[in-house]
Every structure is written in structure tokens, then in C-alpha cells.
Structure 1
Amino acid sequence: MAYEAFVIRGSKTIFLKKAIARNLYNKGIDQSEISELLKLSQPMVSNYCSSKEKIPEEITDIAENISQKIINGKAPDFHTCITFSDKSFEGNYFLANKNEIITDENIKIVNNLTEAFLILKGKNISGLIPEVKINIAMSKLKPTGSNDVAAFLNGFVVADDKIIGYNGIRFGRSKHLSSLLLGLKKDLDTNAIMNIAYIRDLGGTNFNVSYLTKEYKLIDDKDQVDILLHKGDFGIEPCAYVLGKDAVDVSKKVLKLINGLNNEK
């Protein structure tokens, strides 16, 4: 997740806090509260609020913006940023973890996951809903860790046996699916995975099926696998995992699975 940040040179920090203190005081905020918000002593806040010292215009603009955010309920946090560049980084920026920086590959993954959701949206998936949140995870082609795997934040929203929504897509969030997918990629040609409820009879669905050990290791040496089954363990729900080249491929296999299971009834 990206966070808004206001970057100024260290020499201007005093001016900034002085301007913010004045703004908040003029808007009726008590000096003791200003002291706590800006991590200043109360005598310092009193000095700032009564000072007639002129504040540089570029600082007053930033201070007004920050002051309004504080009034709206956001608490500021001051940090020191050290760079080794000749370029000035003053201004309004957004800070994000390295894995959340938008690259072409990240965009493709997010778009693919979104399309996968739209394929499944509104479809009746009764019988495939596990006790835990149902989710799809998709990795970069050459992942170095879980931060290179994206999934739906807190899984899909399900109502009346139908997938109806989701709360965002994030990299590095679905620990179980991402770690499982990264482990499987060492032996299988797969970039996406979806967890569904355990299915006892897949004989008539024409999928390549295999099993996982209790430790989530492949039980055989198959090169192509569509669905992996895990029989569960003490405190662990039995589960099935649908694999694919990407999230869209996975969602299409799930639809095919639904149709196959319905035809058997």
C-alpha cells in the first residue's frame, strides 16, 4: 500500500512544525494536543504559536495541507530521510514497498486477476467453497519470494454460494497460497493457484489430478497437474488447489470443474 509523504529539507523542519502549530492553534486546537501531535514540548508550542517570524511561502502551503489532514483525523509521523543524490526530493510523494511499485508485469498480473474475478463473478460455486477464505494467487514469471505473488486481499467476498466481490489486490499478502505456489513452481509449470473445497470424486472431470503430502509436498513426479488434493491433518481442513498458467486459466478450469460436477449429478 502506498502512503502519502511530504518531503522537505531537514533545515526547514522547524519552519514546517512552526507553521503547522500556528495553523492548528488558529483553528481552535488546544496547545497540549498540538504538543502531542507534533512531538514538541508545550513551551515550544507556545513559543511557535506566539512567534511573528515569517514562514517561507513554500512551507506555508505544505503546512496548510498537513494541518487540514490532521483536522480531518489523520495523525502525522515525522521521519528522517537520507539520500545520496544531487536531485532535490522536496515535494509531495507516495512511499511504497519495493514489491508494490507498479511495473508492467505487476499491471499485467493485477489485470489478469481482475479478469479472473469477472469470469467467476456471479457463478454458483456451491460445493467448492472451503471453510477458509477462497482466493486466487498469481506470481511473476521469475519470483524471488512471496512479495512477487499477488492475491485478492482477504480473499473473495462470497454470498449465497456466489463470488460477488473483493477488497483489493495486493502483492505479498496471501502467505499460504503464495508459499505453496512458489514451492510448486520448482517442479511444475504453473503461475497461479486457487484454493477450493476438497472434492472426493474427480473421476469424470478429465483433469490431471495429484496429491500433496501433509507437508504440502508433491506426492509424485507428474509434469502437468490441474488439481492438487490435500487430505488435511489435525486442525487443517482438507482442501483442493486448482493450478494454471495464470489466474484466468485457473478461473476457466474452475468453471469447467463446476460444469463437470453438475453433469455427474
Structure 2
Amino acid sequence: MSLRLPSEIVVEDVVPTLRALLARELADRGLTQEEVAGHLGVTQAAVSTYVSGEPELEPRIVDHPRTAATVESVATGLAGGEMDGYDALAEILELVRAFEDRGPICELHEEAMPGLEGLGCDLCVRGTNPELRTERAVLDDVREAARILATSHGVAAAIPNVGTNVGTALPDATGVADVAAVPGRIYEMGGRVEVPANPEFGASEHVATTILSAMAVDGERRGAVNLATDDALLGAAESRGLDRLEFEAGYENRGQRLTEQFEARAAVPDVLYHRGAFGIEPITYVLGETGADAARLAAELVADAAEG
């Protein structure tokens, strides 16, 4: 993974695009190329290149509605003399800061450094604080969990028709947005486990609901993965002496119902399952201290079930 600073993205992708757009807008307002060059702090040759349409512009910057509004405002101010260089710079900086806060600069930065994906570019906004390190650790755990599922023999056959997912919650999670999972779910294709995207917070409501219900009774149970309910899998769990619990399949008030069941037995099970209902596929959840722990246990149970 290449190391790129957010400032490099701004210098190499954003500033040239904004200069080109401003040059064209000012030229359209009747300014000479020499006058445009003076406003932008570039050479007349550079302005000629901008106006000719030769440079390749970054489409995510060009197509953003805030870009058009800012370029029009700055061009109007400079062309009419109501705005000087200081005022123009202030508006451009405001635009750049907005783009760094979960905007197109964030997207470009994540492409350059995939390890940032799922963090919402909070590195630019919040810096390297302990909370961000915790979030990174949670996302890394879900990546590891997905890798375990994708590389463990037999797991593809255990994925339900609706797909599977694996999640890990922040230690102080209170809602779905505090639980990281794989967007779009993990699915089976041609006998393989396919992971469509890098993990993000708030990506799976059902897995998150299960985890949050478990954490309400046992704060250490922050991970879960769902598989298709199968008697051989449940038998493998029983043979290992794992705690199992069956629950009703309906989605209505599921979180509350699960929490009440966990509280009534004063414990969170290792394996939680239902037999399905009308329009609801039978699903089994394997729980762990993290999503990676749950994925390892799930892969072991799948292997045990295959061995009979």
C-alpha cells in the first residue's frame, strides 16, 4: 500500500481541477488569459492549456455541486472586482475542507490507500486519536473474519440464500452504526465465498442487532456471524459442549426479545438459532468476543459437521 498524504491528493488532483474550472469560467466572462493568469497565480501558457480543455480533470471534483457553486462565486467576485485573492482563497479553502470531511478527497485518499476504507477519512478530520485507533482495530477484525470465512473449507455451503455477514462492535457500542460489518453481505458463488467490499460501520442491521443484544448482557460478546441453520451444525455445537439457544424468527422487536431471553438465563449463548418463518430463512448465529473469534468457531463447526 502506497503512503499518500491528504495534502498530496489536494495538490495533485483537486487544485489543478479547480484552477482549470476557474480559468474557463473567468475566460467565459471576458477576461484575457493574462488577466486569468494573474488571478490564479499561474503562467499564461498554463491558462491556455486549461482553457483549451486539454488537462484531464478529476470527475468527482468536477461533478460535485459544491464545486460548481464555489467556482461560480469566486469567478463572479474576481471578474467583478468584489473579491480579492484573499477572499478567493478563503472560499477555495472552505471547499477543500468540506471535501476532506467524508467527501471526494476522502474517496480519492481511500483509493490511494485502501487501508483507510471504512474509516470515513476520519484521519483528516480527527487525527490519530485513541477512538480512531479502536475503530481501525474493529474494521481490521472484520477483515480478518471475512478472510477466515473465505478461506475455510466448506463454509460456502453453509451460507444461507440471503447471504451471510460477520460483525464486530466497538467496546462501547450503543447502536447499529457502532457495529462494523461487510456492506452488501458475504455470499456464495460457484462454491466460493465472495466478500464484495471492505467492512464499514452500520453495514448490517441484523448482525448488529444480535451483537447489541448480546452486549446488553455480556459486554465481552462483541462479535457474531450468521450461517444457515443446519442440524449437523447444531449437533457439532452440542458435541463441543457449546451453549445453544433457539429463538423466534420474527424481526419485530427482535433485539428486545433477544436481550430479554439472555437476561432470563443470565448468559449469552455461543450459538443462537431459529427455524425460520414465512418469508424468513432459518438462520444460526455464532457469537464470540470479536467477529474474527466468531468466524473461527463457525468454520470449526462447519468442519465438524462435515466430518459427522
TM over 0.5: yes
Contact 2:185 2:196 in 1 (8 A): yes
The superposition leaves residues 96-145 of structure 1 with CA deviations (integer Å, 9 ceiling, x where unpaired) of 29973351111111221222222222322254111112110111000132
d(CA) in 1 for partners of 2:62, 2:21: 14
**Match of residue 193 from structure 1:** 224
Which structure's residues are more often helix, by fraction? 2
Evaluate the alpha carbon distance shift between residue 196 and residue 18 of structure 1 in structure 2; reply closer, same or farther with a 3 A threshold.
Answer: closer
Matched, 1:46 2:47: no
> Can you give the 5+ residue segments of structure 1 that lack an aligned partner in the other structure?
7-15, 24-33, 35-43, 82-87
RMSD over aligned Cα, in angstroms? 3.9
Match of 1:128 in 2: 158
Partners of 2:179 and 2:169 lie apart in 1 by: 4
Higher share of residues assigned strand: 1
Whether the 8 Å CA contact 2:246–2:273 is kept in 1: the answer is: yes
Confirm or deny: 8 A CA contact 1:126 1:162 kept in the other structure: yes
- Of stretches 94-103 and 195-204 in structure 1, the one that deviates more from structure 2 is 94-103
- Structure 1 equivalent of residue 102 of structure 2: 96
Partner of 2:167: 137
So what's the TM-score if we normalise by structure 1? 0.69
- Name stretches of at least 5 consecutive residues in structure 2 with no aligned partner: 1-5, 11-16, 71-89, 104-117, 124-131
User: Does structure 2 retain, via aligned residues, the 8 Å contact 1:110–1:169?
Assistant: yes
The 2-side partners of 1:19 and 1:149 are apart by 42
Judging changes above 3 Å, is the alpha-carbon distance between structure 1 residues 204 and 72 closer, same or farther for their aligned structure 2 residues? closer
Question: Is 1:208 the counterpart of 2:243 in the alignment?
Answer: yes
Identity fraction in percent: 19
Q: Is the 8 A contact 1:194 1:250 kept in 2?
A: yes
Contact 1:136 1:151 in 2 (8 A): yes
Q: Cα offset for 1:47? A: 1.5
1:69 to 2:57 alignment: yes
Q: Summarize the Cα distance change of 1:73–1:104 in structure 2 as closer, same or farther, 3 Å threshold.
A: closer
Mapped to 1, the partners of 2:164 and 2:149 lie a distance apart of 12
Partner of 1:150: 180
Asked whether the 8 Å contact 2:245–2:271 carries over to 1, the reply is yes
Return the alpha-carbon distance in structure 2 between the equivalents of residues 71 and 254 of structure 1.
Answer: 43
Contact 1:212 1:230 (C-alpha < 8 Å) held by counterparts: yes
Using a 3 Å threshold, how does the CA distance of structure 1 residues 48 and 176 change in structure 2: closer, same or farther?
A: farther
State the distance in 2 between where 1:157 and 1:55 align: 54
Measure, in 1, the Cα distance between the counterparts of 2:179 and 2:302. Answer: 26
CA distance in 2, matches of 1:52, 1:114: 53
Paired residue for 2:134?
A: 105
Query: 2:169, 2:178 within 8 Å by CA — same for their partners in 1?
Result: yes
TM-score (normalised: structure 2) = 0.60
- Comparing 47-56 with 233-242, greater Cα deviation is found at 47-56
The answer for the alignment partner of 2:301 in structure 1 is 257
Contact kept in structure 2, 1:192 and 1:243, CA below 8 Å: yes
- In the alignment, the residues of structure 1 paired with residue 148 and residue 299 of structure 2 have an alpha-carbon distance, to the nearest angstrom, of 8
- Structure 1 contact 70–76 (Cα < 8 Å) conserved: no
CA contact (8 A) 2:176 2:202 kept: yes
SS at match of 1:153: coil
Amino acid aligned to 2:291: A
Kindly state the Cα deviation for residue 18 of structure 1 after the two structures are TM-superposed: 8.4
Aligned to 2:274: 230
> 1:162 deviation in Å?
2.8
Distance in 1, matches of 2:191 and 2:198, equals 20
1:182 and 2:215 correspond: no
Identify if the C-alpha distance between structure 1 residues 72 and 246 changes in structure 2 by more than 3 Å, giving closer, same or farther: closer
